[in-house]
Amino acid sequence: MRVVVGQGSCGIATGAKKTAAEFEKLIAERNLEGIEVSLTGCVGTCYLEPIVDVYDDHGQMTRYTKVLPDKVSEIIENHLINGKVFGDLAITDQDTSFIDKQMRIVLRNCGTINPEIIDEYIATGGYEATKKVVTSMTQEEVIEEIKESGLRGRGGAGFPTWFKWDAARKSPETPKYMVCNADEGDPGAFMDRSVLEGDPHSLIEGMIIGGYAMGASEGVIYVRAEYPLAIHRLEKAMDQARERGFLGKNLFGTNFSFDLRIKAGAGAFVCGEETALIASLEGERGMPRLKPPFPAQKGYWQKPTNINNVETFANVAWIILNGGKAFGAMGTKLSKGTKVFALAGKIKKGGLIEVPMGLPLRDVIYGIGDGIKNDKAFKAVQMGGPSGGCIPAELIDTPVDYENINKTGAIVGSGGMIVMDEDTCMVDMARYFLDFTRKESCGKCTYCRVGTKRMLEILERITIGEGKDGDIELLQELAYKIKDGSMCGLGQTAPNPVLTTIKYFRNEYEDHIYNKKCTARACKELLTYTINDHCTGCTLCARKCPVNAITGELKGQHVIDQALCIKCGKCEEVCRFGAVDRV
Amino acid sequence: MTERPDSTVQNFDELAEVLEKYGKVPGSLITILQKTQDIYGYLSLDAINYIALKTGIKPAKIYGVATFYTQFRLKPIGKNLIMLCQGTACHVNGSKIIEEAITEHLSIQDGETTEDGLFTLNNVACLGCCSLAPVMMVKNSDGDETYGNLTKDTVRKALDEIRERG
């Protein structure tokens, strides 16, 4: 029997390590023999962590959810000793459907294999694609297969992968470098981390195959330093691959040699841009430069370089084994295959999901995510992070693919999907993203450096009730100037969150500016707190108010002096009778 | 940059080992700074000057790289580093309210350290535990612990518990 505890970063955050330790301790204490405790990466159902899978000797799996350490003894007693499924924690059919409704290629091994044991990866057909490529295919044939698959870069821009590989292949200079961008900087996206933690070999294999196709014998993985577990598992995987001869000199007895190393990024969103990433790899400030020359001609150390992100690479081995045609059969005409999304925000079932391109947003949010937390009204979904935009509720039937999402003004991006409900203020969201891009602007282009700051100032003014007539037009003008006047993707897309919220939620901007009102009741300065007749006169709020703005007799109706109120919300927080209204 | 001695860090033996390994490898400045911060907890002016001296890279350039990336700190931090996630999912789920609770409870703002040296508060872009939003991670010499689904009450309680442990 085998007990597998999901230990991706989110699992560990909910206490999976303690759960695993408790299993080991109790199994040892009771001298239970023939039970192995193992680990796996993130299965994607983050809302059910910690997750424990029990496999019987026939390979039959029972999944338990929310297994905190104090529940471990019951699973051991019921299942491991008496062979009965412990119903209280066993996953429900409804939760199983969260996974069953997906189509998992990138995440094919996440949450099933132990990422720290290469044999488990090999048992799923791992490194067969590498063998096939280096022993029986030409560079052109590999690129042709990828071309047929229609795979496009999963990092944000959606550029055809084969085209980049081919450009690097045709570049005459040597040596050439294969680089993986694992510097997942979009706040709200964590699919790359999940692959790194849950299935690092699929990335390694993708890089070897890509390296072969373009003629590189050295690869670098640029990982966020904030992902220590990912770095640890990746290092382990690389060591094991080297031991088996999958990395190093003369792979599978051929002339092709390829090896990898890790470079830890130091936290800069702009390093998602290729040329900035290269500068950072060289130990410089991560600032972009003009293109051309493209990295395929002059990249890392001025040599031909190809950069793809983690998710793109994780598709490659599957495509080689199953054929480009099989991959291209999924998705839509122009956006083929599947895409991983990080579903979060005001959603009932948040997590990591992988679906075929072209699935309508509704099927993702309601079909898989089960709708909005506390059954509130769905307002919008933010896609593409700071470079993307907000898609409003009326466009919920938009198919999720590059073309259709671009039409809304948002982008597919790296796949962050943040769901918002009626309590989310769209002006505040725009302010939030502008604050992010202003901080992350590298400062090279004036429009991006100063323009984002000016836009942020206007948005801040609007959210505190000091918006003026003409602010919306000024924001739009600045937005287009920043797009035109910036050299790299960061500046060119930074205004998108503002433009899309103005496009779809202009009434909210107008409410803030002209009526000094925030309908989502999120902008503090625009709120008014009042006490209704549920007040019992307990005096608690009056005692807790930091500015003594509340008066009233014991057992009598209390009143807030609006001139004194600083809108801290303390009264609402402490009131036990629901007597404080926030409007 | 002045040659002012820094009383907290004077022994650079460990750093010398790092420079031995990476000092001559082109493009290693970020790696060197990361290792330096791992050793001393932050990048002191003295450490920057020492790296400059040993590698031949100008101190101004090192300073430029150190201030460009959010990972690097030029000031020492408290015993417990609170990394409060300000990612999109956390923002939507009220991370600002959590920040208010922390700043009120510990009387420090983002980037500051408490007078007793127990806590430093840092807002960070995204910890990647979006389904647990709002989230904070507390890092100290014992490792790190993540606290999810925070409310004003649970965050205060967590901080008090950490303080009791000392």
**B74 belongs to a structural domain:** no
Return d(Cα B86, Cα B94) in angstroms, integer.
Answer: 9
- Residue A583's pLDDT is 86
- Residue A151's pLDDT is 97
Return d(Cα A226, Cα B31) in angstroms, integer.
Answer: 14
Q: Is B130 on the interface with A (CB under 8 A)?
A: yes
Q: At residue A560, what are phi and psi to the nearest 5 degrees?
A: -100, 130
Chain A: closest CA distance from residue B115 (Å):
23
Element (H, E) at A261: strand A259-265
Q: Are residues B62 and B90 in the same domain?
A: no
Last residue of a domain, one of B48, B68, B88: B68
Is A575 in contact with A558 (CB distance < 8 Å)? no
Q: Are residues A286 and B91, on separate chains, in Cβ contact within 8 Å? A: no
Percentage, residues of chain B above pLDDT 70: 94
Q: Is B158 on the interface with A (CB under 8 A)?
A: no
Q: Are residues B33 and B110 in the same domain?
A: no
Q: Are residues A187 and B29, on separate chains, in Cβ contact within 8 Å? A: no
Which 3 state secondary structure label does DSSP give B91? helix
**B39 belongs to a structural domain:** yes
Range(s) of chain A covered by CATH 3.40.30.10? 2-97
Q: Are residues B142 and B85 in the same domain?
A: yes
For residue A287, the chain B residue with the least C-alpha distance is B68
- What residues in B contact A13, CB-CB < 8 Å? 129, 132, 135, 137, 146, 148
Q: Are residues A284 and B65, on separate chains, in Cβ contact within 8 Å? A: yes
Return d(Cα A15, Cα B147) in angstroms, integer.
Answer: 10
ipTM value, please give it.
0.90
Q: Are residues B136 and B84 in the same domain?
A: yes
**Can you give the CATH number for the domain in which B105 is found?**
3.40.30.10
Please tell me the total number of residues recorded for chain B in this structure.
Answer: 166
Q: Which CATH number applies to A338-421?
A: 3.10.20.600
Q: Are residues B106 and B154 in the same domain?
A: yes
- Residue A573's pLDDT is 87
Q: Are residues B104 and B63 in the same domain?
A: no
Is A408 in contact with A499 (CB distance < 8 Å)? no
Measured CA to CA in angstroms, residue A433 lies from A237, A351, A422, A483 at distances of 36, 22, 19, 15
Of A187, A225, A227, the CB nearest to B88: A187
Range(s) of chain A covered by CATH 3.10.20.600? 338-421
Chain A: closest CA distance from residue B100 (Å):
10
Sheet arrangement for strand A305-309 = A259-265, A218-224, A177-182, A305-309
- What residues in A contact B30, CB-CB < 8 Å? 263-266, 280, 283
Is A64 in contact with A89 (CB distance < 8 Å)? yes
Q: Are residues B45 and B91 in the same domain?
A: no
Range(s) of chain A covered by CATH 1.20.1440.230? 426-514
Sheet arrangement for strand A338-345 = A351-356, A338-345, A416-421, A378-383, A389-392
Of B27, B65, B87, the CB nearest to A187: B87
Q: Is B28 on the interface with A (CB under 8 A)?
A: yes
For residue B86, the chain A residue with the least C-alpha distance is A187
Which 3 state secondary structure label does DSSP give A573? helix
Q: At residue A521, what are phi and psi to the nearest 5 degrees?
A: 55, 40
For residue A230, the chain B residue with the least C-alpha distance is B128
Residues contacting residue A120 through CB under 8 Å, at least 6 positions apart: A113, A114
Upstream peptide bond of B76 is cis (omega within 30 degrees of 0) = no
Is A285 in contact with B64 (CB distance < 8 Å)? yes
Q: Which residue, among A277, A273, A129, has the nearest Cα to A208 in the 3D structure? A: A129
Band (pLDDT 50/70/90 cuts) for residue B10 is low
**A118-121: long-range contacts, CB 8 A cutoff, minimum separation 24:** A118/A201, A118/A237, A118/A240, A118/A241, A118/A244, A121/A199, A121/A201, A121/A202
Q: Are residues B53 and B89 in the same domain?
A: no
- What residues in A contact B68, CB-CB < 8 Å? 268, 285-286, 442
- Residue A157's pLDDT is 80
Q: Are residues B70 and A268, on separate chains, in Cβ contact within 8 Å? A: yes
Range of A417-426, B4-13, B134-143 with top mean pLDDT: A417-426
**B32 belongs to a structural domain:** yes
CB-based burial, A264-301: b 16+ in 10 Å, e otherwise: bbbbbbbbbbbbbbbbbbbbbbbbbeeeeebbbbbbbe
Range(s) of chain A covered by CATH 3.30.70.20? 527-582
**Total of domains in chain B:** 2
Chain A: closest CA distance from residue B58 (Å):
12
Q: Is B78 on the interface with A (CB under 8 A)?
A: no
Of B72, B131, B152, the CB nearest to A344: B131
For residue B70, the chain A residue with the least C-alpha distance is A267
Q: Tell me how many degrees the CA angle A259-A264-A265 measures, rounded to the nearest 5.
A: 130
Q: Are residues B132 and A280, on separate chains, in Cβ contact within 8 Å? A: no
Among the four given CATH numbers 1.20.1440.230, 3.40.640.10, 3.20.20.70, 3.30.300.20, the one describing domain A426-514: 1.20.1440.230
Q: Are residues A418 and B28, on separate chains, in Cβ contact within 8 Å? A: no
Q: Are residues B130 and A284, on separate chains, in Cβ contact within 8 Å? A: no
Which 3 state secondary structure label does DSSP give A155? coil
Q: Are residues A266 and B69, on separate chains, in Cβ contact within 8 Å? A: yes
Q: Are residues B34 and A184, on separate chains, in Cβ contact within 8 Å? A: no
Of B34, B126, B148, the CB nearest to A266: B34
Band (pLDDT 50/70/90 cuts) for residue B1 is very low
For residue B91, the chain A residue with the least C-alpha distance is A432
The torsion angle over the Cα atoms of residues A498, A500, A504 and A508, rounded to 10 degrees, is -10
Q: Residue A34, Cβ neighbours under 10 Å: how many?
A: 8
Q: For residue A221, what are its two tokens?
A: 């993985």
Tens-digit pLDDT profile for residues A489-513: 999 999 999 999 999 999 999 999 9
- pLDDT under 70 in chain A at which residues? none
Please give the single-letter amino acid code of residue A259.
D
Q: Are residues B69 and A267, on separate chains, in Cβ contact within 8 Å? A: yes
For residue B93, the chain A residue with the least C-alpha distance is A345
Chain B: closest CA distance from residue A189 (Å):
7
Chain B: closest CA distance from residue A141 (Å):
35
Q: Which residue, among A151, A193, A156, A185, has the nearest Cα to A496 in the 3D structure? A: A156
Residue spans of alpha helices (H) in B41-79: 45-55, 59-68
- What residues in B contact A284, CB-CB < 8 Å? 29, 65
Is A563 in contact with A554 (CB distance < 8 Å)? no
**B146 belongs to a structural domain:** yes
Which 3 state secondary structure label does DSSP give A53? strand
Specify the CATH architecture of the domain A118-328. Answer: 3-Layer(aba) Sandwich (3.40)
Return d(Cα B30, Cα B18) in angstroms, integer.
Answer: 12
Q: Are residues B38 and B90 in the same domain?
A: no
May I ask the CATH class of domain A527-582?
alpha beta
- Residue B16's pLDDT is 95
Q: Are residues A267 and B125, on separate chains, in Cβ contact within 8 Å? A: yes
Q: Which CATH number applies to A2-97?
A: 3.40.30.10
Element (H, E) at A325: helix A324-328
Q: Are residues B87 and B63 in the same domain?
A: no
- Kindly tell me the burial class for residue A28, based on how many C-beta atoms sit within 10 Å of its own C-beta (0-12, 13-18, 19 or more): exposed
Give the range of the structural domain holding residue B142, as residue numbers without chain letter. Answer: 80-165
Band (pLDDT 50/70/90 cuts) for residue B11 is confident
